[in-house]
Amino acid sequence: MPPPDLRPPGLIATPLTCAERVRGVTPEPRAVPTPTPSALSDPPVALASEFGDLASALGSLIGAPVEAVQTGGGSGCDLEQRTTTGLAYWTCDSGIAGFVAYPGQRHWASVAGELFEWLGDSAEMPPDADQYAWPGQTALVCVGPNDSVGDACLVSGSATTAGEIDAAGGNVVYELDLAEPGAAVDLSLTNLPADYDLYLLDPSGSVLAQSVNEGLAPENISTVLPQGAYYVYVHSDVGRDVAPGSLFLLHVTLG
């Protein structure tokens, strides 16, 4: 007899590739061409100081600069700088630094000590981004809905983030990209406003671990994983009460 399918309803088993997740037209402020070998062989240049906080938050995701910082924009004081993985941009009107990954729809911005992440064509943060922020509690703000593998929030290091589920049977999905083999992973789901469960899936969609306590008790998964991409689901069973507008906290510790 084959093993039972432990995946809760609504889990998507077939992940997209990185290129499929961020596929789209690169937004303004300017087109982002893929670096050529000659560009990558030029003498190294430094990332502009305006991108320092963003670079600290993104780590290796921001890549290495392949050109000197450029000025542009309507006021002539906006800054842009290509890297091996995307385009860093700074708008002097807002004083906010952002980054868009090749080829174009996944964005980040560093604001007041929090790293905001969103998908879309616009280089500007969505107007509802603040509803997912929990100042003093979160370091990563995943601008939702992040309810499928296709729009999963990328978590590249240890972080605490918040999310909400607005309908029974719903999910909030996070992608863990583990660069090192034998990585220790600890996932903790706290501040539950309703009875949500925690699942860890491999790239094929198979459930590797789950925490399904009753009620508002915290959920926890601790394991060691090989190098690769994995998916974390915060899930509400069909028929369960949910708490739209109320945030849970997901703590991710990668060792």
- Tell me: the pLDDT tens digits for 155-203? 999 999 999 999 999 999 999 999 888 899 999 999 999 999 999 999 9
Q: What's the whole-number mean pLDDT along residues 93-101?
A: 93
**pTM, entire model:** 0.82
DSSP 144: S
The pair of structure tokens assigned to 76 is 């002539």
**pLDDT-based confidence at 3, cuts 50/70/90?**
very low
Q: Is the pLDDT of residue 228 over 70?
A: yes
Residue type, 193: P
All structural domains of the chain with their residue ranges: 17-125, 143-255
Overall CATH class of domain 143-255:
mainly beta
Q: Is the pLDDT of residue 36 over 80?
A: no
29 cis-preceded (ω within 30 degrees of 0): yes
Burial class (CB in 10 A: 0-12, 13-18, 19+), 90: buried
Q: Is the pLDDT of residue 39 over 80?
A: no
- Tell me: the pLDDT tens digits for 73-94? 666 789 999 999 999 999 988 8
Q: Is the pLDDT of residue 8 over 70?
A: no
End-to-end Cα, the chain, rounded Å: 37
**pLDDT-based confidence at 42, cuts 50/70/90?**
low
